[in-house]
Amino acid sequence: MALPPAQHAVVVLADGLGAAAIRSRTGHARFLSARLGKNDVIDGVFPATTAAGLATLCTGVEPGKHGLVAYRVLDAANDRVVNQLNGWDADMDPATWQRVRTVFERAADVAVPSFSIGPVRYKGSGLTEAVLRGSEYLDAETIGGRFDTARRVIASTPGALVYLYVPELDMAAHARGWQSDRWLAELETLDAETSLFAASLAPSTGLLLTADHGVLDVPSTKHVLFDTVPELVDGVRHVGGDPRCLQLYLEPGLGGSAADVLAEAWRQVEGERAWILTRGEAVEAGLFGDVDPAVLPRIGDVIVAARRLVAYYDSRDRSQAGRTMIGQHGALTDEEMRIPLIRAGAYGR
């Protein structure tokens, strides 16, 4: 996508705001929906999960290159599955686990300063260090406060790249569902603040608003406890991914056909409700983009991506807290994969 020159570029990432949700709630998002034409909807990355989407946005490469290939991913060196949002520790260095220079680091090469604006709780986190390195993190606790901070950056710098993160919609969707009153209130706030910000832009400032993924509401009656079917966990050492996009890692040494056997077992039981692929099939299909050899082991031996309104859970897991989530994402449906790319200011159509 070619963009015209701009002194200041502001990129708003609305976590969990799928294009379908905007179109379904036009009365609550008048500014955004009015600018969401056919050419303003793009495909997000697979899996449709925050770690993968943010890393791709902030590096410009697909998950097979940057290495954040799931919500929960195999750290083979330590024989464990690690949460890519909040599970970072001394054994998983953000500076090397995320393998590509960020757009902020590249901007610094040409003397363009970068700023990332978001809640204070994310300042210095592992994911922040992995995907936002090269930018100065400025904290603001409300959506309006973040736009005010962006205004101050624009006013105080001759030129800059500004990234503004909005987690509120995704949080509301997980807790109450994207069709809840709480989610709608967050959408209305985002729409109003974006409209005000866009109206105040100088001709030399460009604004882009996009997302990492969309969301589906999955009721608890649609939870599938896959471990209750023995053949679906036969030979599985670790379970990663999301409830709507499992990544299953096999015991080492089972032989080259083990993944095919497990995938076939899943197809026999869940083939009408999910897309099931081996790692080789997923890579060949280009789901992760070009995959570097060092990233390959992080991808599950078998991937189970829901295509119906279901979510897959392991009842053996000691923590069942995830089963309280209503809004879910991760798989390949349009609701999860299709995201907005809305332009304003210098970038307006």
211 and 230 assigned to the same domain: no
Q: How far apart are the first and last CA of the chain?
A: 12
46 and 191 assigned to the same domain: yes
236 and 207 assigned to the same domain: no
**What string of pLDDT tens digits covers the 349 residues of the chain?**
689 999 999 999 999 999 999 999 999 999 999 999 999 999 999 999 999 999 999 999 999 999 999 999 999 999 999 999 999 998 999 999 999 999 999 999 999 999 999 999 999 999 999 999 999 999 999 999 999 999 999 999 999 999 999 999 999 999 999 999 999 999 999 999 999 999 999 999 999 999 999 999 999 999 999 999 999 999 999 999 999 999 999 999 898 899 999 999 999 999 999 999 999 999 999 999 999 999 999 999 999 999 999 999 999 887 777 789 999 999 999 999 999 999 999 999 7
pLDDT, tens digit, 9 for 90 and up, residues 260-272: 999 999 999 999 9
229 and 180 assigned to the same domain: no
58 and 190 assigned to the same domain: yes
How is residue 166 annotated by DSSP? E
We report the CATH number of the domain holding residue 247 as: 3.30.1360.180
DSSP characters for 142-196? SHHHHHHHHHHHHHH-SSEEEEEEE-HHHHHHHHH-TTSHHHHHHHHHHHHHHHH
187 and 299 assigned to the same domain: no
Compute the chain's Rg from CA coordinates.
20
256 and 199 assigned to the same domain: no
State the residue range of the domain holding 299.
220-328
112 and 196 assigned to the same domain: yes
Q: Give the Cα separation of 209 and 42 in Å (integer).
A: 12
pTM for the whole structure: 0.96
Tell me if 29 is assigned to some domain. Answer: yes
pLDDT of residue 1: 66
236 and 155 assigned to the same domain: no
Beta bridge partners, 206, equal 9, 345
Q: Which residue has the tokens 């799931």?
A: 70
For residue 19, give Cα distances in angstroms to 8, 168, 213, 344. 26, 16, 9, 17
Tell me if 282 is assigned to some domain. Answer: yes
We report the CATH number of the domain holding residue 210 as: 3.40.720.10
Tell me if 3 is assigned to some domain. Answer: no
* Number of domains within the chain: 2
SS3 160: strand
